[in-house]
Amino acid sequence: MATTLTDDRSPDRVVDPADNPHHATRWLILAVIALAQLIVVLDATIVNIALPSAQEALAFSNDNRQWIVTGYALAFGSLLLLGGRLSDLIGRRPMFIAGLIGFAAASAVGGAAQNFEVLVGARVAQGVFGALLAPAALSLLTVTFTDAKERARAFAIFGAISGAGGAIGLILGGALTEYLSWRWCLYVNVPLAAIAVVGAIVMLKKQPKAEDAKGIDVPGTVIVVAGLVSFVYGLASAESDGWGSATTLICVIAGLALLALFAVVESRVKDPLLPLHIVWDRTRGASFLVVAFVGIGLFAVFLFLTYYVSLTLGYSPLKTGFSFVPMILGIMATATGSAGLVAKIGPKIPVFVGMLLAAVGMVLFAQLEVDSSYAAHILPGLIITGLGIGLSMAPAFSAATSGVDAEHAGVASASVNTFQQIGGSIGTAVLSAFAATATTDYLAGRSASELNQQLAAVHGYTTVFWWAAGIFLVGAILCGALFRSGPVEVDPDAAPVLAH
């Protein structure tokens, strides 16, 4: 039985693809959108490898170092829903272009930063403009491709970029740091964004604002931003202050309470920031969970495997980045190669199998030891994990935005990115805390020799990989159960092709 997602608010009309002004250039538009998405995803990891060099140059403490990463995550994750709503109200094209220009400007300021405060401010600004850019990019893709086969192929490419972008960031960050400067990990966004801006101006046609566009839900916006900032800040504080600290507990509890209040407010206001029917739809809800689980598990690979190959095996920044190439190839192979299959059978089986494969990859990483080799012990896990993530991400991105009318395409797209970002933030805090605890427990009663320090660090990494395997397994079972059988059909009444 095929699954058709519909929206009871959608107009009762069918739009001929020939009437879509973007139909003839849809694949070139996909290239521009994919480049924009790559810019946003790159910045989640490209700065990681540059952090030691930046810390040495600007002389900031280890305690402050985490805010270079967390500042971006806080702004990006908390403002995504607002960015999605603005995309629906003002228009996807202007928000897409504004997001690119702002992101490039913030990157230039960060690259030129002469102190810690300016660098953190630039990273926060990157997050703000990324929150405008990401929903506009995905919603543009949503309303440009409505044919089932073409849509599956387009979202497969988009999902491959989203899944592999973090690993590409490690490679690019390693190369730029080793051969140029850590500052180029930020400067590199400027030429990439310039190319995307030119492509957007040339190929994206100006469309009138929707006549039925509503205003901004101010109470909902304030509550959800405060809730997400509090929640993510609390999780970030857990790594340094501990789970039992007052800061961690107060911020996490307050964040969860505010998010619960947000759900109540959204069910009662006339024009909600996030219409709850978007979240409660079974297929879209399962898709949101997929990207959240993948966000949590993917963090374990990118961060702790990076630590392992660089600190334990002694790889250079560039060699560390290139060590992830097999995973990139695996993600791209299954994300793009399975598009036709997903269009025929739907996301249920690919997502279930993909998350199981990712769990197997984590189990292989959990076998690592101090003297493990790349070819025998790391490479197999990278390939299997990459195949699994690609098989999960592409159908989830597609299903998450299927059946949403044009009025809500931006906020539905923002919801996907929000779940992915919050998943990554949870992974950052929880798995880092698990690693720190495992490392400390291993050293208890042992001498602090160099060998024991290395053994303790590897024990912390492998503990995280076991937890990540469990997370992927739970995700496979839960999401596999939630997805309905059969393909997700795009109802032209619910997703008109005309973008504004």
pLDDT, tens digit, for every residue of 143-153? 777 666 777 77
> Residue 151 in contact with residue 347, Cβ under 8 Å?
no
pTM: 0.76
Record the tokens describing residue 100, joined without a space. Answer: 């690119």
Give the residue-averaged pLDDT of 30-34. Answer: 86
CA–CA separation, 473 and 468 (whole Å): 9
In 112-181, which ranges are continuous DSSP H helix? 116-144, 148-179
Is the dihedral angle over the CA atoms 419, 420, 424, 427 positive or is it negative? positive
Evaluate if residue 19 carries a pLDDT over 60.
no
pLDDT tens digit sequence for 172-192: 888 888 888 889 989 999 999
Q: What is the pLDDT of residue 144?
A: 76
What's at 43, amino acid-wise? D
Is the dihedral angle over the CA atoms 419, 423, 429, 433 positive or is it negative? positive
Q: Indicate the average pLDDT of the chain.
A: 80
Determine the topology of domain 15-216+273-490 in CATH.
Growth Hormone; Chain: A; (1.20.1250)
